[in-house]
Amino acid sequence: MDAFYHSVERFGVVDGPGIRYVLFLSGCSLRCKFCHNPDTWLAGDQTISVATVLQQYERSRHFYDASHGGITLSGGEPLLQAQFAAELLSACQERGIHTLIDTAGHYPLENLKAVLPYLDGAMFSIKSALPEKHKAICGAEATWSWSTLALLAAHLPLTLRYVLIPGYNDSPDDSAALAKLIKKLHGKITVELLPYHSLGRDKWQKLGLTYPLADVADATNADLAAFAAQLLALRIELLLPSR
């Protein structure tokens, strides 16, 4: 079957272990204020088939295998097209291809259950562990996101990605809520702290959209270190980006 997609990155190195084929599917039900790819929000008219993805992957498979890489489904929100995702990930598993999904968790839980047997790991983008802030940043309630997160953590190696936005989700209340959430999860969990950046501003402008965080400065190393210290004081260890 076919899926709506935005783009393909053939040699991705930041979306999972090793060198990866990263497929960015189109469509997202969130409207995050810091989104650097607002052009993925709508489905558009560009489609790709499972067969095409596998053919493209096999052309460079020696690079993926040598680096212990694989395929990552990203977006937009890849699990809004759960049937395609399940078909592709199942085919990957049959071929011994390592599979990951990069998700924000905002979709019916059944969508995740459809692909869970075919995943080797997951990355989960968390904007705030405080429900009211999550809604303010993403434009949607967090209910689906948290139930999805708990299911992922219980079944797969999981990387939590927290984008630190100065003045939005970097307070002691934010770190305390995040630590509390992490401690409720069961499984193999890695916490990755990422800096907010405004590189997507030009895309917003080209799409005729008003960039909501125009007055927010990019997160600095000092911002990351300060928030990391808050989490470490709460006994949460995490990864910091190398920059």
pLDDT, position 9: 97
pLDDT, position 200: 86
**Entry field: residues in the chain:** 243
Residues with Cβ < 8 Å from 181, sequence gap 6 or more?
A: 126, 129, 146
Instruction: For each of the domains in the chain, give its residue range(s) and CATH number, in order of start.
Output: 2-233 (3.20.20.70)
**Closest by alpha carbon to 194, among 220, 171, 212, 229?**
220
Whole-prediction pTM: 0.92
Per-10-residue mean pLDDT of the chain, 243 residues long, equals 95 95 96 92 94 98 97 97 98 98 95 97 95 92 88 95 95 96 91 92 92 94 95 86 52
